[in-house]
Each structure stands twice: as C-alpha cells, then as structure tokens.
Chain A
Amino acid sequence: MRLSRRGLLRAGLAGTAATALGGLATGCAVPTGSTGRNMVLWYWSGGLSPKVVQNAKARYDDSMNLQAIQIGGYYRSKLMTTMTGRAHIPDIAGLKGEDMASYLPNSDQFVDLRTLGAARYRDKYLPWKWDQGIAPDGSMVGFPIDCGPVAHYYQPAVFEKAGLPHEPADVSAELDTWEKFFAAGEQLKKRLPGTFILTDALSVFGISVNQSTRRYVDEDRHFIGDQEHVRTAWDRAVEATRRGLVSKIVNGTPDNISATERGLLPSQLNASWAAGDIKLNTPRTKGKWRVAQCPGGPSNIGGSFLSITKACREPERAFELITWMLDAENQAQGFVDSVLFPSTPASYGMSELREPDAFFGGQITMDVFGPAARKIPVAFNSPYDIALGTPISDELRNFSVLGKDPDKAWKDAMSSCRRIADHVGVSY
C-alpha cells in the first residue's frame, strides 16, 4: 500500500515535471513564424483553388516546403489571435474582403508588398481591387485574389410569362435602373400572384450602399451614415417593401428553396459566387436561369486577398509564390475550380472562362460579370463600418419584417449610431 502510494506520487511528480519542463522548453523555443524550409499558408475552404495550391507545392518544391492549411471556423478571429499571441504565425495569410478594414489599421503586422516590388504587377489587376489592399498609411497589405461583381440572376421563363423582357441583353438594357426594376416587380406580382422579385429588402439596401463611393465612416473618422447615399439606399429598400415587392421568406430555409424551384422567387441580386450557391441549393432549376447586369450599376460583394506576415522569414520567396498563384492563368483555374471570380482582367478572355454554362442555359456568363467587374466604384472601408452599419440594417429589418414605422426606425438607427460613434471614438 505504502509503496504504491509512493509510486503514485512519484509518477504524478514526474508527470508534472515533464509537463512543466516541456512547457518551459517549448515556451522558450516557440517560433514566431515557421522554421527551416517551411512556408506556411493559411486560407479557408474555397478560398483558393485546390489545384493551384497543389501545383504551387510541386513547382516550388526545391526551394520551400509549402504547407497550405485550411483553417475552419471563424477565420479572422483565429488569425488575429495567433498574431496577437506572436507564435506560429503563418508566413502567408489569406484575408477575407469583409475583414480587410479591420486588418488595414494594423498594417505593421504585415510586410509592405511595395518593398517587394508589387508595383510591377499593378496594371495586371483591377485597379479598385488593388486599392482595397492598401492601408491608410500607403503600405500594401493584401494582394488581390478574387472579387464578387453583383449581377441579376433571373428565371427567363417566369419573366416571359409575366410579359417582361427575358433575354439577358434585354433585361440588362431595360431593367437598368432601380425604378425600372421595381416597376418590373410590380408587373410580375400583378400577372403572377404570389411571385416576388425580391426575397428580402436588406439586399436592396446593401447593394445600393455598395454602388456608392462612400459607406458609413470616412477617412477622418467621421460618421457619414446619415448622409444622402445611405438615406437613398434606405428609402429604396423602404419603397420596395411598401410596394409589396418583397417576399416574407427567410433566406436559407426550405421555404426559400421550394419557392425558388417553383418560380415564385424568380430573381436574385447577388455576387458572382452566388451562382455556386444557386447550383448547390436548387440543382433542379438547371437550365432555367440567366444572368443580366444589376439594376443601378455595378457593385461588389466579398473577394479576398493574400498577405505576407511580419513573421515570414523569406518574404521574397513568399512574394514570388503568391504572385505566381494569383497570376491571370491560375486565377482562371480558380474560377473553374472554386468560382473565384478573377481580379485579373486578362483572365476574362481565356477560353476556360468563356465556356457556355449549361446551368444558365448555355449563356457565357463572363459577358455579364467581366464588364461589371471593371466598373466597380471604390469606397473607403473603415474599421468602424461594421459597428456603425449594423444598427441601420437592424432597424431596416425591424421595418421590413416586423412592420415598424420606417421614420421611427430611421430615427432610432441614427440615435444608436450616435451612441456607438461616441463610444468607439468616431465623430458624429
């Protein structure tokens, strides 16, 4: 008994010592970034073409050991935690477009790509996309991966039955303004009761804000969400709801899928990558869709970047790798594999991208997305846009879903914004 207890104690002790020493030892030796020939790349599922990653691994095999890791879950949060922890930081990190505003103020965490000669590549990429990767201090943080030009997806058979234009060229030409789009929605609803041109009002608001060159907070940390461009977007969404053009269906529910299949929601305003979602969620609608230009002009949703972190020991090699992975040819591959819409206009003419798409009735969708991608307005993305944009879209939802009075909703949104602006140090 005594012996076994002592033995137990000893074992416990040894275990503790081993843990403590081990912890201590690794604690001293935790590498900030990777070591040796390793080149660690963080991205998320669908963020890069698997084939391009594989080819890059083979191509640079003699100079580096590329470890491309797909990070699941809340990507930004994991990357930021790792950077703050200053241990095991990836050499190359993917940055999602919607998160850029929160990385750019901390550009000192990344290698300024200008120092590696990024300027040489500038004219090969969409100018607005290139500028989105540049921090307010002028340093270049993100190298463009893809973008998400917004288009009008619609079901021509339903449009035809409602007496609306139904050829892509006609829809682009005749439904080019919001006013004409809403009028078409009214006609659609009148001719085919129970059919709605919009699933929810928020998309009109979001796209309208993206069509402007300004958002919620400007470069001088001043709140501009109370100005004309946001108010116009708000009024437009309110008008669509009031005219009865918006369905009551919740996105992502079986209701939504079923209504889409039955042609009750024959229209969607969404980014290029949404084509993948439509194909995945409603495979039975194959051949029933076409793509046209979005009413009110081009805009963008999403699209990401690659960056080189300060922990990278060989930035030159990393830069060589990313410029190769994101050249026009590989971006075309990315579109074919993962619907990553290229930020390199040279890709748009390549034969892989000009394949007729059977899901869209044999339409060459690039004819719509390509021109849209070139004309996207550049807006300043502030790190405070999320905090100050949320109350406005929350209140818009209170109006459109819960039936709150829109004037009251706008006033409440503005008073929340005033409180939040004051709290985060944005002038109102």
Chain B
Amino acid sequence: MATAPVVETHPAPLAAAPAPHPKKGVLSHWRLYAAISPFYLLFLAFGLIPVGFSLYLSFHRWDGLGAMEYAGLSQYRYLLADGQFWSSIGNTVVIWALATFPMIFLAMVTAVMLNSAVRFKNVYRFAFFLPNVTSIVAVAIIFGSVFSTNFGLVNALLQAVGLDQVAWLNTPWGIKVAIATLMTWQWTGYNAIIFLAGLQTIPGELYEAARMDGAGPVQTFFRITLPLLRPVLLFVLVISTVTGLQSFSEPQVLLQTTDNNSSFAGGPGHAGQTMVLYFFQQTFDNNDFGYGAAVAWGIFLVVVLFSIVNWRLVQRRGED
C-alpha cells in the first residue's frame, strides 16, 4: 500500500501540524468506500465475473455439464468462417434499418401532431406509449396472426386493393418486414414522447419570429424544428441502435412455430435470425457453450463498431 501520495493530497492547512498518522490514508475513508460498495459488489458478481468467464469460456469447448477442454483460438477461427453468423449480422442490420427509419419518421409526425393537439392531450400520450409497455410475447403472437397468409389482416388489406397475397412468414423479405413492423409499432409511441419533450423545449418566440418573417409551416419545420431537435434525434437513434442490435424476442416468438426443431432458427432460410438468436441457437440448442461465448464476443465487437459510429456522429454534431 502506497500511503505517501494519499498523504500529499491532504489540503495545505494541515501541513504545519505534525505529519498525519499513516493510518489516515485510504482506510480513513472506509465508511465512504463501504457506502459505495454495494454497486461494485453487485457489478462484480453479475457483471464483471460473468464477462470474464465468458471470455475464458470462448477459448474452450464445453457442453455445459462435463469437463472443459482447452480449444485455443479455434472457436474464433470457426466464427470468422461461419456464414450463418455473418448472415445473422446482415439480418440484424437490415431489420434494424427497416424498423428504425419509418419509426423515426412516424414518431416525428406523431410528436408534431401531439404538440399541436388541443384536447385529450394526455389520453393520446398514454395511448401512444401503451405499445411500449405491452408484453412483447403477446404482441408477437398477435402479429403472427396479422401476417398469416390466408386469414391475416395485412393480406386482407392487400386483397382489398386488388393486390396478391404475400406469404409473409414464408419469404425472406416478408419475415424481415414483419419483424420490422412489429418493432416499429412498439417503439413509435415511446420515441414520439421523447420527440414531444424535445419540441416543448423549443421557445415559442422562434416560431413567432419565423411567422413574422413570412415562413410557412413546412419552412418552419425544416428550418427551426428539425435543427433544434437534432440532439433529441441523435438520442433516439442511439437508443434504437442499442435495442435493434439486441432484438431477440420479436423474431423468436414470431417465428418459433415455423421450425419444429429449434425455436431460435428464425424462419425459413434463417431470414429472421438475428445475432442474439444465433447465439442462443448455438449455445442452448447445440449445448456448445464455448462457441456460444465466442459468438457473444463477436456480437460485442459489432456493437462496439456501431457505438463508435454513433459516437462520431454525435461528436461531429457537437462541433457544428
């Protein structure tokens, strides 16, 4: 224990007095350390140790019950050449994009409408927020019905306008669109509320001034509302990236009956198999915990990559 540097950090007035007792170091603050310790202890038990263990696991072969066998880097080598893992990254990103961009647009429109609503404001807000707190499993079961081929609501609408049926849950794009629609439905209201909060921070004088200068509603939206909402927009983008990259329950529940062997297969051609679903399939269907850990670290790297992109985006906006 190096006590000297700690002693030096004591404020000057004490310097004239005889040198403080060495015990008055880190230990003298033990109460403070003890007070903040619960978080660190919990983090250690449920965060750091499992993370460390999964790293250790990814260098081994393990069936979850028997003895572990050292496997070196072979799990990672296998991961790099695993086409299904790469396609699961592709699926995740495509579903994320299909869900996020319409969602942001719809949320923005909803927020602007909510902002100018005169009556029943709180009723609307509550109604729009409701999908976000509804059980995802129940929602996915209902969406399974909505997208079913012969008796689904979506195909009924398509046929009403004279279009052909689409086998939504039997075609790669149909599957992705169905999952994305579910996610859009679930998150639009939540993000609309966030946009609404952002809208309400924009001072009314700006709008007044714009009106005085002869700006129409469209011009006002693009010249005043949108630029001032940028930080909120970025926040929404970051949050939806975080949730989108981890999507699991939506495809799992929506597509589990399309496969009689595995509920994590993600439909025909694995078209709806996201990264986390693939991780589950490898780990728990195949009992391949070593490879599962390697897949988890692969997912971690993808998330890091996206975080860096997001961070750069935010940084640049900050410099403007």
Q: Is B159 an interface residue (CB 8 A)?
A: no
A198 to B192, CA, bound (A): 46
Residues of B within 8 A of A29 (CB): none
Residues of B within 8 A of A12 (CB): 34-35, 38
Q: Is B129 an interface residue (CB 8 A)?
A: no
Residues of B within 8 A of A74 (CB): 284
Given contacts A102-B65, A386-B286, A386-B287, 15 further A-B contacts (CB under 8 A): A9-B31, A16-B38, A77-B284, A84-B65, A106-B65, A206-B261, A251-B257, A253-B169, A253-B257, A254-B145, A255-B148, A390-B286, A401-B170, A423-B78, A424-B61
Residues of B within 8 A of A106 (CB): 63, 65-66
13 intermolecular pairs with C-beta atoms under 8 Å apart: A16-B35, A83-B65, A248-B170, A250-B170, A252-B144, A253-B257, A255-B149, A259-B150, A386-B285, A390-B286, A402-B171, A419-B81, A423-B78
A344 to chain B, nearest CB (A): 28
A16 and B41 form a contact (CB under 8 A): yes
Q: Is B269 an interface residue (CB 8 A)?
A: yes
Q: Is A394 an interface residue (CB 8 A)?
A: yes
Interface residues of B in 78-116 (CB under 8 A from A): 78, 81-82
A81 to B78, CA, bound (A): 25
B137 to chain A, nearest CB (A): 12
B269 and A402 form a contact (CB under 8 A): yes
Q: Is B154 an interface residue (CB 8 A)?
A: no
Residues of B within 8 A of A398 (CB): 268-269
Interface residues of B in 3-46 (CB under 8 A from A): 31-32, 34-35, 37-38, 41
Residues of B within 8 A of A71 (CB): none
Residues of B within 8 A of A427 (CB): none
Chain B 246-263 near chain A by CB (<8 Å), digits 1 or 0? 000000000001111110
Q: Is A350 an interface residue (CB 8 A)?
A: no
Number of chain A residues close to chain B: CB under 8 A: 50
Q: Is B125 an interface residue (CB 8 A)?
A: no
Residue of A nearest to B261 (CB): A393
Chain A 7-50 near chain B by CB (<8 Å), digits 1 or 0? 01110110111011000000000000000000000000000000
A residues near B (Cβ < 8 Å) are 8-10, 12-13, 15-17, 19-20, 74, 76-77, 80-81, 83-84, 102-103, 105-106, 109, 202-203, 206, 248-255, 258-259, 383, 386-387, 389-390, 393-394, 397-398, 401-402, 419, 423-425
The 8 A-B pairs at the shortest CB distance, nearest first, are namely: A252-B257, A12-B35, A253-B148, A401-B268, A106-B65, A387-B286, A255-B150, A13-B34
Residues of B within 8 A of A259 (CB): 150
Residue of A nearest to B30 (CB): A13
Q: Is the interface of A mostly helix, strand, loop or mixed?
A: helix
Residues of B within 8 A of A13 (CB): 31, 34-35
A397 and B64 form a contact (CB under 8 A): no
Q: Which of B169, B260, B269 contacts A202 (CB 8 A)?
A: B260
B65 and A109 form a contact (CB under 8 A): yes
Residue of A nearest to B74 (CB): A423
B78 and A394 form a contact (CB under 8 A): no
A201 to chain B, nearest CB (A): 11
Q: Is B198 an interface residue (CB 8 A)?
A: no
B69 to chain A, nearest CB (A): 9
Chain B 270-290 near chain A by CB (<8 Å), digits 1 or 0? 100000000000001111100
Q: Is B172 an interface residue (CB 8 A)?
A: yes
A254 and B152 form a contact (CB under 8 A): yes
Q: Is B222 an interface residue (CB 8 A)?
A: no
Residues of A within 8 A of B171 (CB): 402
Residues of B within 8 A of A258 (CB): 150-151
- Given A254-B152, A402-B172, check contact A9 B32 (CB 8 Å): yes
Q: Which of A16, A109, A390, A424 contacts B285 (CB 8 A)?
A: A390
A407 to chain B, nearest CB (A): 17
A393 to B35, CA, bound (A): 56
A240 to B74, CA, bound (A): 40
Residues of B within 8 A of A249 (CB): 149-150
Residues of B within 8 A of A419 (CB): 78, 81-82
Residue of A nearest to B145 (CB): A254
B268 and A397 form a contact (CB under 8 A): yes
Q: Which of A20, A83, A401, A424 contacts B288 (CB 8 A)?
A: A424
Q: Is B195 an interface residue (CB 8 A)?
A: no
B287 and A250 form a contact (CB under 8 A): no
A402 and B66 form a contact (CB under 8 A): no
Residue of B nearest to A101 (CB): B287
B93 to chain A, nearest CB (A): 21
Residue of A nearest to B155 (CB): A255
Residue of B nearest to A102 (CB): B287
A254 and B148 form a contact (CB under 8 A): yes
B261 and A390 form a contact (CB under 8 A): yes
